Amino acid sequence: MNRLQQQKENKSGLLEDMLSFIRYTPNREADLLAFMEKYQKADCDERPAVLEQLRSCMDGKEYSNPYAGSYHYTPEDVSLMGNILDEYIDDLTLAMGDPAAVDQCVRDTVLKINALNEECGRYLIDTWRRERLCGFINSAAELAGLSQEKDLTQQHRMW
């Protein structure tokens, strides 16, 4: 496997980070607090259902995810990000050695990521992820033959 194709493997850490933020692992103490906050913020007609879940959590019974509905993106959005990054590497492989074509691949990829991040209410990419994503895009472009003097994503990205 060439070094550019190995970049596809490098995206897994970034995608796992995105998924970890939206994966739910029950934690009774934290969930009690989440249900109490949800109860306080709920409309009067929604409170009985929240109270029922809070009671189930207190009693050690099965209860629903107290964070459901508050996530700003889904596993499908993370999967789309993975597809965008895979397409980027595939496109770079075809553009290898042609600086103008590699630059166009960077631009097209960043614009696709802009659109996806916008659809997710701009929550998909935080500061930490932005730095990792820029590193991924820039290092892959360099492997494809584009000399890197600066962040190649900066002029196109909105994240």
Q: Tell me, what's the pLDDT at 71?
A: 87
Q: Tell me, what's the pLDDT at 66?
A: 94
> What is the rounded distance in angstroms from the CA atom of residue 39 to the CA atom of residue 102?
52
For the chain, what percent of residues have pLDDT higher than 90?
85
- Predicted TM-score (pTM) of this structure: 0.82
Specify the amino acid at residue 91.
Answer: D
Whether 89 and 4 have beta carbons less than 8 Å apart is answered as yes
Q: What separation in angstroms does the CA of 17 have from each of 55, 92, 154? A: 32, 24, 22
pLDDT in tens, 34-82: 999 999 999 999 999 999 999 999 999 999 999 888 889 999 999 999 9
Q: Quick one: CA torsion of 30, 35, 40, 42, rounded to 10 degrees?
A: 140
pLDDT in tens, 83-102: 999 999 999 999 999 999 99
Q: Tell me, what's the pLDDT at 5?
A: 86
* Longest alpha-carbon distance in the chain: 64
Specify the amino acid at residue 60.
Answer: G
